[in-house]
A and B are shown apart, each in its own frame.
Chain A
Amino acid sequence: MIQIRNLKKRFRNNTVLDGIDLDINEGDVVGIIGPSGTGKSTLLRCIDLLETPEEGEITIDGAVYSLAEHDRRQTLALRRQTGMVFQRFNLFERKTALENVMEGLVTVQKKPKEEARMLAEGELKRVGMYDWSEHYPKHLSGGQQQRVAIARALAMKPKLLLLDEPTSALDPELVGEVLETIRDIASQGFTMMLVSHEMNFVRKVANRVIFLDGGKIVEDGTPREVFDRPKSQRAKDFFAKMHLLKQPEYTI
């Protein structure tokens, strides 16, 4: 059980998150959608303390962490509970795929090299990248890099996996393999928060969808409830726009 309470984040005068409360059950896959600039990514980054919010706390398995005030020890403790997958993969450039996955196991969890290697190879197999273990990021396509990044995050056995628009930096033809990987790990019972613009994917993979607007949770429910019967006007407008985009430019 993960509880987020009263998360508030401002950038100067711009309130990005305006008191977010969220309870996430173990094994939940929470899709976060909404117009751009409504704090979807900021929400994830605050949970991982890559941004420091003004207020807010998170409880993971009974342990309470303040998001607003934290010393170095608390920061590390929280980060060790969470895993992050970035939009731009952010693999370590000078390390092979295998070393990327091993890095946290060795330096953070202080596992012996051999054990770390075995675990890392297991994770690479899980995302179908085992054959590319010895390759450096520059040898890999965007989709492959993202799969390694997912393996890197999973290797740390996070209680909560945060995926920040994992496919938006990819060429369209590479999106599929990454979505497949995410769907695969979602079905394995990892608790995840997923920010994505791939509405159809969110619909398929998430068992709960949150619509953020103006720093607040506007819709919260099963994919069917949110996508098919949105209650708020804002969400209705948003989906209408998305559908408009999908229509042909003109018809004869």
Chain B
Amino acid sequence: MMMQILSETNLFDFGLVGRQLPELLKYLPITLELALLSMLIGLAVGLLLAVIRMKRIPVLRQIAAFYISIIRGTPAIVQLYIAYFGIPMLLKYMNLHFGTDFDISAFPGFACAVFAMGFNESAYNAETIRAALSSVDRGQIEAASAVGMTYPQALRRIILPEAMTVALPGLGNSFIGLIKGTSLAFTCAVVEMTAQGKILGGRNYRYFEVYVSLAIIYWAVTIIVERILKFIEKRLELPEQIDKKAAAAEEPEKARTFTKEAKVRYDTNKKPEKAFSQ
């Protein structure tokens, strides 16, 4: 009944939803590029902020807290507009003040969008990463120091690999949010998937159909990303069980050397220069 009405009245064009997909998918790479580049900035800056807050570095710590507060306290769309109008203004100021020669009109909106979304992402990632870093047992950090490792070495070799398993679900979540957040990039004059959808809709006023097509694509992308995250999570898991070293069977002599030697030593446990009072 419903289908009949829809097909007879031409109220909803099913076919168009499918036919538009290729046209929209052409812009999927831009959407993904935006998301990936922003995520890279978000991870790098987020890690920096997290370490600053973890290590309680004076002054920087207050700046980091202030930065996170501002970014989280303002809407993403406002930040995008500020980047889009602000960065060219900044360049113009530098041209006037320092005599540099930036071509303001050529500065790509894409870069503005990546900046804005990357820094936006960093504020949220900072908290996720900080929580993950502080979940790593202090004892291991002490052990790393006791071995003589510097903090950056310990961070890279011991703390981060362990924190990553804790941070992954949270970071994955925010990456999925970011993919969909790229649909705001039109504010910086970037034509990504959603913007292209609007253009298509403008041609034939079939806005409803085009948004349904977009919804399908975003959903599909999200499902794929979820799969990838699951896969990474599985890869990071430590094996449940490991067989005892096969080398024991290969070199039975070597493996037993210790026990034999030790036994002899314990049997004749006399150290003339060091009289144990037994």
Contacts and interface: CB of A to CB of B under 8 A. Distances in A.
Interface string B133-145: 0000101101111
B139 A88 contact: yes
Given A79-B145, A152-B147, A131 B255 contact: yes
Contacts, number: 124
A207 B148 CA distance: 28
Interface in A82-106: 82-84, 86, 88-95, 103-104
Interface string A96-119: 000000011001100000000000
Interface stretch (B83-91, B169-177, B211-219, B235-243): B235-243
A132 interface: yes
B249 to A, nearest CB: 10
A76 interface: yes
A139 B242 contact: yes
Contacts of A234: none
A50 B140 CA distance: 12
Given A90-B139, A187-B265, A207-B274, A83 B146 contact: yes
Interface residues of A, number: 51
A72 to B, nearest CB: 7
Nearest to A50: B142
A48 B140 contact: no
A66 B62 CA distance: 32
B254 interface: yes
B151 to A, nearest CB: 9
B74 interface: no
Interface in A117-138: 125-126, 128, 130-136, 138
A138 B139 CA distance: 15
Contacts of B157: 103, 107
B147 to A, nearest CB: 4
B168 interface: no
A203 interface: yes
Given A48-B146, A93-B140, A136 B277 contact: no
Contacts of A94: 158, 161-162, 165, 238
Contact of B258 (A107, A128, A134, A204): A128
B145 A125 contact: no
A93 B162 contact: yes
A17 B227 CA distance: 56
A223 B277 contact: yes
B277 A90 contact: no
A212 interface: no
B203 interface: no
A228 to B, nearest CB: 9
A6 interface: no
| Residue of A103, A138, A203 ringed by the most chain B CB atoms within 10 A | A103
Contacts of A48: 145-146
Nearest to B239: A136
A128 B148 contact: no
Given A92-B158, A132-B244, A205-B276, A86 B139 contact: yes
Contacts of B146: 48, 50, 79, 82-84, 86, 153
Contacts of A203: 277
A150 interface: no
A184 interface: yes
A90 B149 contact: no
Q: List 9 A-B pairs, minimum CB-CB distance, nearest first.
A: A90-B139, A104-B147, A84-B146, A90-B143, A80-B148, A108-B148, A224-B277, A131-B248, A223-B277
Interface of B: 137, 139-140, 142-150, 153, 157-158, 161-162, 165, 238-239, 241-242, 244-245, 247-248, 254-255, 257-259, 262, 265-266, 269, 271, 273-278
Given A92-B140, A131-B248, 13 more contacts: A29-B274, A76-B148, A79-B146, A92-B158, A104-B148, A108-B147, A128-B262, A131-B247, A135-B242, A180-B262, A207-B275, A207-B276, A224-B277
14 contacts: A49-B145, A86-B139, A86-B143, A92-B143, A92-B158, A93-B137, A93-B140, A103-B149, A128-B258, A132-B245, A134-B242, A134-B245, A135-B244, A205-B276
